[in-house]
Amino acid sequence: MNSSSPTTDLLRDIAGNEELTIFVSGPCMDPVLPDGSRIHVRRKRWYWPGDVVAFRRSDGRLLVHRTLGYAVGRRGLALLAKGDRLAREDEPVSLTHIVGRVVGGDCRREAFEVPLAVRIRCIFRYIRTLLRCSLGSWSSANAS
């Protein structure tokens, strides 16, 4: 499912005009965004590696994870993201599913003022992810 939903469209519209307040549930972004944190999200034109973004997953759940970079797939440009405490990246996220970037709230400052070291770490994770995916598809194509 790659199309946007009415709920996602509404959230994106709100986040495009004013700050949208969301409450975080779960530990995947600890300690930057502890469970129960209130965050403010705002739609941006572009999301950079290290930005913390809110997006709708294909199963309809709203997640708040860190941006790694972009990938081009059969359906166009998609965002690659990962929760800080998770071992694996999320499935690629259609740009129409992105609600916005964390711009404030009662969370750690690193959630919206991303340090350079975190951005660099995200870029390296992004490169590793791309290499793993391309080598995986190359080896499976040559296995047949």
Strand stretches in the chain, DSSP E? 20-23, 38-42, 52-56, 62-73, 76-82, 93-94, 98-105
CATH number at residue 77: 2.10.109.10
User: Which residues constitute the domain of residue 15?
Assistant: 6-138
Q: Could you report the per-residue pLDDT of 21-70, keeping only the tens digit for each?
A: 999 999 999 999 999 999 999 999 999 999 999 999 888 889 999 999 99
Question: What total of structural domains would you count in the chain?
Answer: 1
Indicate whether 74 belongs to any domain: yes
> How many CB atoms are closer than 10 A to CB 32?
21
For the segment 94-119, the average pLDDT, to the nearest whole number, is 93
Indicate whether 68 belongs to any domain: yes
Indicate whether 1 belongs to any domain: no
Q: Is 64 exposed, middle or buried (0-12, 13-18, 19+ CB in 10 A)?
A: buried
Indicate whether 127 belongs to any domain: yes
Indicate whether 105 belongs to any domain: yes
